[in-house]
């Protein structure tokens, strides 16, 4: 890889660069569309640019595009997991989820990684097993969506419709790159993904949630809760429990007020850990006045940590108890567990 990665530049940055090398301003818009709308990874394919400019860019800049190392498709053929290698040899995983729907447009969701590991050290997450990792750049995040977009087309869908920052890493620990990537993906001259079709999932970094609220973007916010009392949450999510549950809920309320978007609380059920009626009662008491949607997720097995999902009857009873208390509950359908592509299973390994 040589020079600056143009995939991570927004319009103004690209315009400044084009100006600095003595090219006319309109070349920046041409280049931006090639990179962001069409996912170009080769300057020579940009036939509307002069040969001299293409050669200069090839020698002095780069278009970082991760290499696909491994690809796995679930038995249901509705989930695809990709193992990608970045330019410096770091590896990440990303997931494509396909939804065929009656009486509505089909949906293709890309689950992107924002880091090549994670420092939150959640006890139920395979990503936390990696000791060495780094933040991804905006260009590396955008590239994941572009790869997924082409794959979705190949599988008969009309490209990516939705994006969730729920892959490897804590997005709010790499917030500048995440913000820049979603602005690039939202740009009308790029992939033009609507802000309301983008969701960021976080363990609950309170100051960063409040910072997001001031962006003025209608992005979905999902907060990983997984426990309704501070002591258990600190045990399950040691890196995320620096803030009290009251502080976290206040930040969620602030985000709701500023963005106009309802916040989702992610609650994974772990057998014998947080799945009892008493846990449901605590969760109901915590969230009754919050207008938060509760997303119940049967845990995906992580043998190294002794994590297993509860029995189906326990799951159904837990949801029923929450609904009796007036909470809006959604039970998430499992996808991709057979290829280690479900929540908490990403760990950058080959099959």
For 177-223, the DSSP string reads: HHHHHHHHHH-TTTT---GGGEEEEES--HHHHHHHHTT----EEEE
pLDDT at 3: 84
The pLDDT mean for the chain works out to 91
> For 226-243, b where at least 16 C-beta lie within 10 A, e where not — what string?
bbbeeebbeebbebbbeb
> What topology does CATH give the domain 4-62?
DNA polymerase; domain 1 (1.10.150)
**Global confidence as pTM:** 0.92
Instruction: Judge whether 237 and 201 are in contact, CB under 8 Å.
Output: no
Instruction: Judge whether 233 and 245 are in contact, CB under 8 Å.
Output: yes
Query: What residue spans define the domains of the chain?
Result: 4-62, 67-339
Looking up tokens 């103004």 gives 12
pLDDT at 122: 87
Residue (of 189, 187, 90, 211) closest to 140 by Cα position: 90
How far is CA 326 from each of CA 102, 292, 323, rounded to the nearest angstrom?
A: 29, 11, 5
Active site (catalytic) residues: 93, 343
Instruction: Judge whether 233 and 227 are in contact, CB under 8 Å.
Output: yes
Q: Confirm or reject CATH 3.40.50.2300 for domain 67-339, answering yes or no.
A: no
What string of pLDDT tens digits covers the 351 residues of the chain?
468 999 999 999 999 999 999 999 999 999 999 999 999 999 999 999 999 999 999 999 999 899 999 999 988 888 999 999 999 999 999 999 999 876 567 899 999 999 998 888 888 887 766 667 899 999 999 999 999 999 999 999 999 999 999 999 999 999 999 999 999 999 999 999 999 999 999 999 999 999 999 999 999 999 999 999 999 999 999 988 789 999 999 999 999 999 999 999 999 999 999 999 999 999 999 998 889 999 999 987 666 656 788 999 999 999 999 999 999 999 987 654 554 444 544 444 555
């Amino acid at each position: 890889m040589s020079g600056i990665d143009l995939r991570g530049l927004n319009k103004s940055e690209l315009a400044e660069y084009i100006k600095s090398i003595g090219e006319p301003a309109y070349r920046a818009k041409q280049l931006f569309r090639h990179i962001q709308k069409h996912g170009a990874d080769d300057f020579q394919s940009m036939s509307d640019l002069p040969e001299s400019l293409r050669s200069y860019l090839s020698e002095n800049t780069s278009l970082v595009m991760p290499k696909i190392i491994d690809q796995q498709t679930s038995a249901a053929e509705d989930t695809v997991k990709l193992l990608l290698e970045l330019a410096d040899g770091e590896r990440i995983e990303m997931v494509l989820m396909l939804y065929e729907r009656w009486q509505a447009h089909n949906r293709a969701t890309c689950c992107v990684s924002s880091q090549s590991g994670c420092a939150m050290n959640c006890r139920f997450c395979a990503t936390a097993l990696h000791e060495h990792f780094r933040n991804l750049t905006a260009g590396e995040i955008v590239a994941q969506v572009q790869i997924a977009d082409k794959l979705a087309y190949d599988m008969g869908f009309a490209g990516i419709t939705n994006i969730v920052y729920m892959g490897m890493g804590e997005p709010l620990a790499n917030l500048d790159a995440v913000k820049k990537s979603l602005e690039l993906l939202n740009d009308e001259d790029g992939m033009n993904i609507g802000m309301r079709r983008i969701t960021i999932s976080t363990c609950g970094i309170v100051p960063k949630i409040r910072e997001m609220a001031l962006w003025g973007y209608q992005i979905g916010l999902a907060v990983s809760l997984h426990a309704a009392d501070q002591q258990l949450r600190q045990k399950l999510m040691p890196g995320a429990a620096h803030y009290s549950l009251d502080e976290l809920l206040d930040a969620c309320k602030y985000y709701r007020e500023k963005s106009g978007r309802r916040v989702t609380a992610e609650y994974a059920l772990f057998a014998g850990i947080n799945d009892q009626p008493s846990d449901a009662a605590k969760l109901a008491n915590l969230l009754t006045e919050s207008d938060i949607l509760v997303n119940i997720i049967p845990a995906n097995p992580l043998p190294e940590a002794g994590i297993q999902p509860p029995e189906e009857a326990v799951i159904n009873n837990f949801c029923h108890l929450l609904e009796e208390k007036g909470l809006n509950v959604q039970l998430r359908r499992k996808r991709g567990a057979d290829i280690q592509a479900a929540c908490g299973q990403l760990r950058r390994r080959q099959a």
